[in-house]
Amino acid sequence: MYMIKLAIFGFGAVGRGVAKILIDKERIRRLIGEYTVVAIADSKGAIISDSIDLKKALEIKNKEGSLPERLTVDEIIDSVDFDVALELTPTNIKTGEPGLTHIKKCLKKGCHVVTSNKGPLVVAYKELMKLAEKNNVKLMFEATVGGAMPVIKLIKRDLAGNNIISIKGILNGTCNYILSKMEKEKLPYDVVLSEAKELGIAEANESYDVEGIDSAAKLVILANALMNMDVKFDDVEIVGITKITPEAFEIAMEKGYTIRLIAEVNEQTLKVGPRLVSLNNPLCIHGTLNAVLIKTDLAKEVFVIGRGAGSIETASAVISDLAEIYSCEVNK
Ligand code: HSE
Q: Output the pLDDT for position 289.
A: 96
Same domain for 222 and 274? Answer: yes
Confidence of residue 224 (pLDDT cuts 50, 70, 90): very high
Same domain for 81 and 180? Answer: no
CA-wise closest residue to 113 among 145, 135, 97, 91: 135
What DSSP element (H or E) covers 260?
A: strand 257-266
pLDDT above 90: percentage of residues in the chain:
92
Q: Output the pLDDT for position 75.
A: 97
- Determine the straight-line distance between the first and last CA of the chain, rounded to whole angstroms: 14
- Residues in CB range of 161: below 8 A, 6 or more apart: 298
Q: Is residue 151 part of a domain?
A: no
Mutate to test the pocket of ligand 1, among 142, 151, 172 (most ligand atoms within 8 A of CB): 172
Same domain for 194 and 283? Answer: yes
Ligand 1 mean position, distance from CA 161 (Å): 30
Ligand 1 neighbours, Cβ below 6 Å, are 172-174, 201-203, 209, 214, 308-309
Amino acid at 209: D
pLDDT, mean of residues 223-246? 97
Q: Is residue 251 part of a domain?
A: yes
CA-angle at 315, arms to 312 and 317, nearest 5°: 125
pLDDT in tens, 98-156: 999 999 999 999 999 999 999 999 999 999 999 999 999 999 999 999 999 999 999 99
For the chain, the domain total comes to 2
Same domain for 208 and 272? Answer: yes
pLDDT, mean of residues 13-31? 96
pTM of the model: 0.95
What CA–CA distance (Å, rounded) separates 90 from 30? 30
pLDDT at 331 over 60: no
Same domain for 283 and 321? Answer: no
What CA–CA distance (Å, rounded) separates 257 from 217? 27
Q: Strand pairing of 4-9 and 35-41? A: parallel
Structural domain of 264: 156-307
pLDDT, mean of residues 209-223? 97
Confidence of residue 202 (pLDDT cuts 50, 70, 90): confident
Confidence of residue 214 (pLDDT cuts 50, 70, 90): very high
Q: Is residue 195 part of a domain?
A: yes
Q: Is residue 111 part of a domain?
A: yes
Q: Is residue 179 part of a domain?
A: yes
pLDDT in tens, 125-139: 999 999 999 999 999
Q: Output the pLDDT for position 328.
A: 53
Q: C-alpha 20: how far from its chain's center? A: 18
Q: Output the pLDDT for position 327.
A: 84
- CA 332 → CA 6, 321, 324, 326, 329, distances in Å? 21, 18, 14, 10, 5
Long-range contacts of the stretch 198-207 (C-beta < 8 A, 24+): 200/13, 201/173, 201/174, 201/177, 201/288, 201/309, 201/310, 202/174, 203/91, 203/174, 204/90, 206/174, 207/240
Same domain for 104 and 224? Answer: no
Same domain for 91 and 184? Answer: no
Q: Is residue 201 part of a domain?
A: yes
Q: Which atom of ligand 1 is nearest to 174's Cα?
A: 5
Burial class (CB in 10 A: 0-12, 13-18, 19+), 296: middle
- CA 29 → CA 33, 112, 240, 315, 317, distances in Å? 4, 18, 43, 17, 17
- Return the CATH number at 278: 3.30.360.10
Ligand 1 mean position, distance from CA 204 (Å): 10
pLDDT at 17 over 50: yes
Same domain for 188 and 114? Answer: no
Q: Which atom of ligand 1 is nearest to 202's Cα?
A: 1
Same domain for 321 and 201? Answer: no
Q: Output the pLDDT for position 269.
A: 94
Same domain for 209 and 182? Answer: yes
pLDDT above 70: percentage of residues in the chain:
98
Q: Are 304 and 294 in contact (CB under 8 A)?
A: yes
pLDDT, mean of residues 29-37? 96
pLDDT at 218 over 90: yes
Q: Which atom of ligand 1 is nearest to 203's Cα?
A: 1
Confidence of residue 85 (pLDDT cuts 50, 70, 90): very high
Same domain for 112 and 62? Answer: yes
Q: Which residue minimizes the CA distance to atom 8 of ligand 1?
A: 309
What CA–CA distance (Å, rounded) separates 247 from 230? 39
Same domain for 214 and 105? Answer: no
- Return the CATH number at 31: 3.40.50.720
What CA–CA distance (Å, rounded) separates 140 from 167? 20
- Residues in CB range of 134: below 8 A, 6 or more apart: none
What CA–CA distance (Å, rounded) separates 233 from 131? 21
pLDDT in tens, 271-320: 999 999 999 999 999 999 999 999 999 999 999 999 998 899 999 999 99
The rounded mean pLDDT for the chain is 95
- CA 266 → CA 17, 53, 125, 145, distances in Å? 34, 47, 19, 17
What CA–CA distance (Å, rounded) separates 36 from 57? 14
pLDDT at 26 over 50: yes
Q: Strand pairing of 301-307 and 289-296? A: antiparallel
Q: Output the pLDDT for position 330.
A: 44
Which residues are marked as active site? 218
